[in-house]
Structure 1
Amino acid sequence: MINIPQINVLVVDDSPLTRKVLKMLIESDESLNVIGVARDGIEAIEKANALNPDVITMDIKMPNMDGLTSLQYIFEEKNIPVIIVSSLGERGSLIAYEALELGAFDYIEKPDDLYYLKDELIKKIHAAYIFSQSEKAKKEFFSEKEISYETKEKKVIETPSSMDFYGVAIGISTGGPRTIYDVLPKLPANLNAAVFIVQHIPEKFTRTYAERLNNSCELNVVEVENDMEVKPGYVYVGKGGYHLKLRKGLNGLRIMLSKTPKHIFMPSVDVMMESVLEHFDNKTVGVLMTGMGNDGANAMVKIKERNGYTIAESEETAVVFGMPAEAIRLGGVNIVLPSYNIADEIIKKVGLRNG
């Protein structure tokens, strides 16, 4: 792990008490320094320009100018990572999701007791800073070892699939709500595949995520429900708080929502990919994109071993080169591509349906 220098943080919130508590929580880590605070979006823009912080924490609902508007002004002038720290209401949830689409680094739901934020807040500030720095720093953040693109040779297990279409399993996390638009809208309505996607995102966002993607895609994008039929031409978005699994029904494949196994992520990319592989065998295409950690990396190895096909997003476009880097390190990747080339590779592999 690299030595992280002093990281300067700007805290933006309309509540004096919240500003005070956030400052205290952030500065409990000796490498973090709150360089300034702002009461609304206008002051946030002014202080971002004057103080040039390394990371900004931003509330959404504020007087004079809200966080979403302020975010857009800041991004026009500065390349400063912004972490949204806000309470979730129905309307607030939609705006927070829009912030992620606009390029906010991450989102933290503000609990009633702010002290529960401490560990998550510090971790995400460090991550936001690291990923705004050099490519070398990004690599070192995840591992002291250099990442190799040479995949390990694995024994291929021949398991011909009886399915007449493919299963495309996509795992994506930090930076995903924006990056996924490089892929899904480019897939045609007659794609010879059903697409399954797990996006690590707060539980209340998955329906909004699916609805907004559906407005931009030729494929039908739906948030999964239990016992939903699996058909080609659809994108099935994992439901917050449940694993996305498949089961064989009397009339083909059905969606199965599950609370097991217990996992840090609900839904989990590994769980989803392994279930897709169980039913699609060598007609499984695994895609692992931007995100922290290693969720999905082990499943990518299994897909490749079963003679499926695996694609990892390259460091060139990944906001966070964590999940795809781990899949590469484990030898679970057939090809590494920037996000804007992934859709073409999927089409090339699965083909199009007639009629």
Structure 2
Amino acid sequence: MPLKILVVDDSALMRKHLVSLFKDEGFEVQIARTGREALIELPLFRPDVVTLDINMPEMDGLTALSHIMTEQPTPTVMVSSLTEKGALATLEALAMGAVDYIPKPGGTISLSINSIADTIVDKVKIAARARIKGQAPRQNAAPATNPPSRTPAARPSAKPAAAPAVARPSAPPVRRPAGPVTAAPIRVAPRSYATASGPFGLVLIGVSTGGPRALEEILPGLPADLPWPVVVAQHMPAAFTASFAQRLDNLCPLKVKEATSMEELRPGTVTIARGGADLTIGRRGGRLVSIIQPESPRFTWHPSVELLVSSALEVVPPRDLVAVQLTGMGHDGADAMAALKLGGGRTIAESEETAVVFGMPAELIRRDGASIVLPSGKIAGHIRQWLRRPA
């Protein structure tokens, strides 16, 4: 059956472009001009995915999203301008349960949407397979009988409830992906090294689709006196990462900041890789530092998790590294994290029951690269446990 897409946007031009794009892909499409219309169409059309504009009259996208996630949880992709205001609203939407976002080229809709047509289609297809909290299986879901509320509901808390505890699944057999490996051969640092402030390791986190909400659950669970620095590669455009770092800083005991230049990595801090670039780990004068560099054409996703982890392996012994692979599509970081575990380091893969998209963690597990598989609600506690005692 074709995917059913509900396009919600007050711009006739934006609706025209998206409807044409989705119909060309064979999708079944319905439109709504406002958030209120969307809430009426939702139980009637029962879409697989909603694309939802943030700025609309009568009922804005955030208010409409709160209704959707409460009344009929449905994978939702926000349509956002690449501005600071648009970034803040988009991050709030992701925390509320939106799967992903579509950037408006130049901040407004134009013919240049054709330049990101493939990205839009891919995001919608991924969203259709995403795990949404509270979503019933389509074939078992009963039609809604009550009309949607006509008054805006209170927006839900940005911090999601902790995931239920699950048993660790047995390790699946190793399976290497078909085709060439994107990463260069991974060099491993010697087992002894020191920094100017003494020896310590790094916690490296890789994440993509569904990541902002996962990080908002995990990072606040790490204490201000965490003995190792944390570095995060979240696939995100350049316009969003500064706002995202500020949002996390307000939520976390740790200091959270966007990487802006070559900086020393210090315990008690979280560094968010800047969007539109890659981040590597190096040593300068005995100190571990973060280094910003242009997006490498050798890698598909950016900021690249694979490049972050492989660069860390060149300057830090694997036993002094912890790598965490969270929700996202693709395999970014799986090769380097598997090499890290093989060299004696420790890795965590987010479990399928909490990952919005299980692609990245699944690829790490398939490579026998996960030391342990955990739901998102248990990851911070396990990191604390590992760092309280010698490896």
Please report the TM-score for the alignment, with normalisation by the length of structure 1.
Answer: 0.88
Distance 1:39 1:315, change over 3 A: same
Give the residue type in structure 2 aligned to 1:193. W
Aligned twin of 2:3 = 7
Aligned twin of 1:312 = 349
Distance 1:116 1:348, change over 3 A: same
Between 288-297 and 222-231, report the one with greater CA deviation.
222-231
Question: CA offsets, 1:117-156, max 9 Å, x none?
Answer: 422222222221122599999xxxxxxxxx9723659xxx
Aligned twin of 2:84 = 90
Aligned twin of 2:34 = 40
Output aligned runs, 1:215-226, within 5 Å.
215-226=250-261
Query: Where does structure 2 lack aligned partners over 5 or more consecutive residues?
Result: 139-168, 176-187
Residue pair 2:331, 2:363 contacting (<8 A) in 1 also: yes
For residues 241 and 189 of structure 2, what CA distance do their matches in structure 1 show?
Answer: 35
Output aligned runs, 1:52-91, within 5 Å.
52-91=46-85
Residue pair 1:26, 1:118 contacting (<8 A) in 2 also: no
Q: Does 1:160 align with 2:200?
A: no
Residue pair 1:169, 1:196 contacting (<8 A) in 2 also: yes
Give the residue type in structure 1 aligned to 2:125. H
Give the residue type in structure 1 aligned to 2:28. N
Dislocated runs of 4+, deviation >4 Å = 132-137
Q: Does 1:150 align with 2:181?
A: no
Number of aligned residue pairs: 335
Q: Does 1:277 align with 2:313?
A: yes
Distance 1:64 1:298, change over 3 A: same
Distance 1:231 1:292, change over 3 A: same
Percent identity of paired positions between Structure 1 and Structure 2: 42
Distance 1:132 1:225, change over 3 A: closer
Distance 1:49 1:136, change over 3 A: closer
Please report the TM-score for the alignment, with normalisation by the length of structure 2.
Answer: 0.80
Q: Does 1:297 align with 2:334?
A: yes
Superposition CA RMSD, Å: 2.4
For residues 267 and 82 of structure 2, what CA distance do their matches in structure 1 show?
Answer: 34
Identify which of 287, 291, 302 aligns with 1:252: 287
Residue pair 2:79, 2:104 contacting (<8 A) in 1 also: yes
Aligned twin of 1:21 = 17
1:57 match: secondary structure = strand
1:215 match: secondary structure = helix
Query: Where does structure 1 lack aligned partners over 5 or more consecutive residues?
Result: 138-146
Residue pair 1:289, 1:324 contacting (<8 A) in 2 also: yes
Residue pair 1:175, 1:290 contacting (<8 A) in 2 also: yes
